[in-house]
Structure 1
């Protein structure tokens, strides 16, 4: 049955009045975007905490260390998902909230291109995790917690994304996003904004010496990163033109 609109909905106006209202709201949208960028810049200056304990996980091929979860990359984001006995949905499903979040995960190739790995971790055995991933169509690496990792990093009773960076075999915890902050996670940008190196683009406010590349240029089709060592010249031309038009448009200018 078709539902009626709420009685107290906003007024219906002409295209001209709508455009004026949108332009007024856009000023606030841009202020919000700049505040979000400033917050991410502060995250990149958060102190790091050395991880001294040797944590162990179970993966599809056996036992793995926290270092192994990086898959050779410099940054790691570990989401603690609740899929285990005692959680609503077991054994057919993971927690509904965690599952909704898993459905939002963007294609991992784009994160990997920024030297960043995303992994999920639960206390369910690997056989159950494999079954769940196949049922739900999820492709992120998903490991079994075997020790106090979840308790030590504040995610034993509630979900959350812990962020790590490594220097060789040394691992550092850099950030934690949990509670309502978790609901917005899933896009390439929400993940990268939580990391110590950020989006690694030239416009960002990052400490001196941090990796920076021009925006847009590193973007690629998710199946083409490995094949293309440098940005395609045609894509550079297209993205330059698009960026110039974007920057010169007063309505979209950041």
Structure 2
């Protein structure tokens, strides 16, 4: 008996399935090699020197060069923010809540990964705790830093990467929108499922379950109920 009312993939014998999988694997391997080539080009990108910025962390003002905490490399997730709101962007909240073992990147790759938001630091830290986020947060509310790295107030989110040489900081890479997807384990796992993300923009067979984009994801309140201070 079927466990779903949706359409199902065709059923074939094992040999046919292996042939179909082998055909798909050719494309998957080609995509892997292309991503390797993209990463190689990324490592050869030029960089731009930044002026000095002062952000605010849990312990007060801190120079951008000191946000590296002694490491030469820094990844910043620029978190969308609306001052005074109880619940911030669900996409940013869900994306950043998945990062819980950041000691690995610090210990083995000599880098740090932090959040910077344009919101005031007291609100930002309270929100971090409310939703169970375990990353280190900084505020650029009193600095042009957010706007200068393409994530200013009311501009959305982004990921920026920096390199430090002494006290001099350079910007090496930036992405936003769907460019952040490869940093998330969630989309990668869901894309492996037979029904995929079940969003209406996807090229799926007739009869596959689909819904408007982002309609099915958890909201910030639901994330807090699972991981944050509001959980039972």
Q: 2:45: which partner in 1? A: 46
Unaligned runs of 5+ in 1: 191-254
1:5 maps onto 2:6 in alignment:
yes
Deviation string for 1:142-184 (max 9, x for gaps)? 1111211111111121211111001111111100011110123
Specify the SS of the correspondent of 2:124. Answer: helix
- Rounded to whole Å, the distance in 2 between the matches of 1:124 and 1:131 is 11
Deviation string for 1:82-135 (max 9, x for gaps)? 1232xxxx5222211111211232510111120111111112222222221222
- Rounded to whole Å, the distance in 2 between the matches of 1:103 and 1:13 is 40
Task: Answer whether contact 1:163 1:174 (CA < 8 A) is retained.
Answer: yes
Identify which range, 122-131 or 150-159, moves more after superposition.
122-131
1:62 maps onto 2:60 in alignment:
yes
Q: 1:105: which partner in 2? A: 99
Give aligned pairs, total: 180
Q: Normalization by structure 2: what TM-score? A: 0.73
Which of the residues 137, 143, 146 maps onto 1:147? 143
Specify the SS of the correspondent of 1:11. Answer: coil
Runs of 4+ displaced beyond 6 Å = none
- Rounded to whole Å, the distance in 1 between the matches of 2:145 and 2:82 is 15
Unaligned runs of 5+ in 2: 189-232
Task: Answer whether contact 1:76 1:165 (CA < 8 A) is retained.
Answer: yes
* Aligned alpha-carbon RMSD (Å): 1.8
Q: 1:22: which partner in 2? A: 21
Q: Normalization by structure 1: what TM-score? A: 0.67
